[in-house]
Structure 1
Amino acid sequence: MDVQFLGTSSGTPSRSRNVAGLALRASGSKHWYLVDCGEGTQHRLLRTSLSVIGLRAIFITHIHGDHCYGLPGLLASAGLMNRSEPLLIAGPPAVERFVRAVIDTTELRLPYPLDFATVEPGWTNDTLPDLRIDAAPLSHRVPSYAYGFTEKAVERRLDIGRLERDGISSGPGWGQLQRGQDIELPDCRVARSADYLLPGRQPRRIVVAGDNDTPMLLAEQVRDTHVLVHEATYTEEVLQKVGPGPQHSSAQAVAAFAETAGVPNLVLTHFSPRYQQGEGKLSMNALEDEARAAYHGALFLASDLQRYALDRHGVLAALADA
């Protein structure tokens, strides 16, 4: 599985960061998924290998503009590129109202169908070919959700020792067994695939959270999760000055939660534009230092267009070709 950040700023874009957007793709898949679609997302896509033709579904965490104002333009561009496949848009109820209002007022005619899914506590989706999706409610000024993405298919290795003990010689039949197919042997025995496959590894799982001031709300959803992507809009010091009104998290709070929950990989994003590169209280270094003091797993501070790959062992790594 891999993710690519299309925007990592909160509220407004900066010279180096666009507002929220994240692309996610299962291993070996030709299509991809989008989580949030802030203004300018389609411009960021032009700097990637991703195409709106291969986009299978969009998941909006909440209705605030920096997470959804890019939707109308992206949908219209997909139509102009002659997209024909249906597109799923999942999000809180306000998302469908917003999109339909833009379609009606601008007389937008799309050559492909939109399938809307209303996300609420306990919502799941098992219709996509490669991933199971679940949603958990968060704490923000409007309904906000975190989406969990779990791969469906896990490759399984053959039990070579048992095959040899049972006198099943290597050949095309081994490949059929590994693909889940039973085979008939020369002596008329039937070898069942399930008898010769070793237990599979744990399915890879990534949780991408929307805006949220209470990371502990994710305690159940991040169980058996390999990667948590969560906002860290402020340092704790700035958060205390800003106050609870915006309902965002600090790097310290998210990192402390991830440490307690045992999440092995944490990616912070959605940074206030006040934080710049360099040293000082209003620097990206300050955010990173605060998080590292509370969290001892693999920590990443996302940047626009950076890609990360999650391997079969649950190890997340930044890709050099971002």
Structure 2
Amino acid sequence: MELEFLGTGAGTPAKQRNVTSIALKLLAERNEVWLFDCGEATQHQILSTAIRPRKITKIFITHLHGDHLFGLPGLLSSRSFQGGQTPLTIYGPEGVQNFVRTALQVSETHLSYPLSFVTVHKGLMFEDSTFKVYADELDHRIKSYGYRVEEAAHPGVLLVDKLQADQIAAGPVYAQLKAGKVVQLPDGRVVDGHDYITAAQPGRIVTILGDTRQTPAATSLAQDANVLVHESTFGRGEAKLARQYYHSTNIQAAKVAKNAGVHQLLLTHISARYVGKKVSELARDAQAVFPNSRVVADFDVIDIPFKKRETNEKISSLKKS
């Protein structure tokens, strides 16, 4: 699981930063890419990456301001021209379907794949055996949402060394034990599979917020996340401006990360006013509040590792202590 930032700027494109788009790359997990926002020229940015548009199966739009939306018609059209045939679903506030359908109709663009829309609301937006996606409304000048992506837990792994130490020979019995079954061995011993598998590996959590002022919903969406992606349109000392324009400062974002207990904070939606040393200052000021903070740049790729797996033996020792 990786995040690749296709655009990290705010408002309008700049030389150093394109407008907002983020790819959540789930290639190992489900051979898919999910986009979060699709600002102007997102498809151009993709050309500088290894992302294949046909792998994009879901696009989550946070809100309907142009710097998060104007890239949709072009990307959808190019995906079709390039032979994309797998269905694609766009999640977004009310109005996104009208925008896309109108653009495709006026330009007489005919897609080679099924396109569907889901109007976002507070609560569960998507669920299958591997992932859940929740949404909640933020505080912006227009309706804006944040998304919380939760991965399902991964089953524990078989403790082969322990099986060998207990002189349990390899064979079909290993599969039974890995399934957590109670098995009688040829020598008469009865063993429980739960004693030979690690605890389930908790799934990862990624929170990606749209434009917003300070709001309790941001902290709720980010609770215990492995990664929080939060806008940082303004810097330290600009809280009044941030509130006036319905945005956040780097300090406010860092406080959300700290209060929510996230592992890593990624700051994006950076104003064109911040270049060079000013970008470093944004990062340092945020790190003073939440040390594991980073200001991302276009084409940054962030790996999202699992938290360290604990074995059942370690868990048992903790329970005894």
Q: Partner of 1:318 in structure 2?
A: none
Question: How far did 1:190 drift?
Answer: 9.9
Q: Aligned letter for 1:292?
A: Q
Q: Partner of 1:313 in structure 2?
A: 307
The 5-angstrom pairing of residues 1-322 of structure 1 reads 1-26=1-26, 28-29=28-29, 30-127=31-128, 130-160=130-160, 163=163, 168-171=168-171, 173-174=173-174, 177-178=177-178, 180=179, 187=186, 196-240=196-240, 242=241, 244-278=243-277, 283-296=278-291, 298-313=292-307
2: CA distance, partners of 1:88 / 1:253: 32
Larger CA deviation: 5-14 vs 100-109: 100-109
2: CA distance, partners of 1:170 / 1:35: 46
Checking the alignment, whether the CA contact within 8 Å between 1:5 and 1:22 is kept in structure 2 is yes
Q: Aligned letter for 1:72?
A: P
Q: Aligned letter for 2:307?
A: H
Over 3 Å counting, the alpha-carbon distance change for 1:15 and 1:186 in structure 2 is: same
1: CA distance, partners of 2:225 / 2:119: 24
2: CA distance, partners of 1:79 / 1:210: 27
2: CA distance, partners of 1:275 / 1:152: 38
Query: After the TM superposition, which parts of structure 1 deviate over 6 Å for at least 4 consecutive aligned residues?
Result: 181-186, 188-192
Task: Tell me the TM-score normalised to structure 1 length.
Answer: 0.86
Question: How far did 1:96 drift?
Answer: 1.4
1: CA distance, partners of 2:48 / 2:191: 50
Over 3 Å counting, the alpha-carbon distance change for 1:24 and 1:174 in structure 2 is: same
User: Is the helix fraction higher in 1 or 2?
Assistant: 2
Q: Aligned letter for 1:151?
A: E
Question: How far did 1:142 drift?
Answer: 1.1
1: CA distance, partners of 2:180 / 2:85: 34
Q: Aligned with 1:28: secondary structure?
A: helix
Gaps of 5+ in 2: 309-321
Question: How far did 1:290 drift?
Answer: 2.0
Q: Aligned with 1:236: secondary structure?
A: coil
How many residues are aligned here? 307
2: CA distance, partners of 1:183 / 1:19: 56
Task: Tell me the TM-score normalised to structure 2 length.
Answer: 0.86
Task: Write the deviation string for residues 117-148 of structure 1: whole angstroms up to 9, x where unpaired.
Answer: 11111133113x63221112110011111111
Question: How far did 1:73 drift?
Answer: 0.2
Checking the alignment, whether the CA contact within 8 Å between 1:177 and 1:193 is kept in structure 2 is yes
Task: Write the deviation string for residues 26-69 of structure 1: whole angstroms up to 9, x where unpaired.
Answer: 36132211111000111111111110111121111111110010
Checking the alignment, whether the CA contact within 8 Å between 2:231 and 2:268 is kept in structure 1 is yes
Q: Aligned letter for 2:204?
A: R
2: CA distance, partners of 1:193 / 1:115: 44
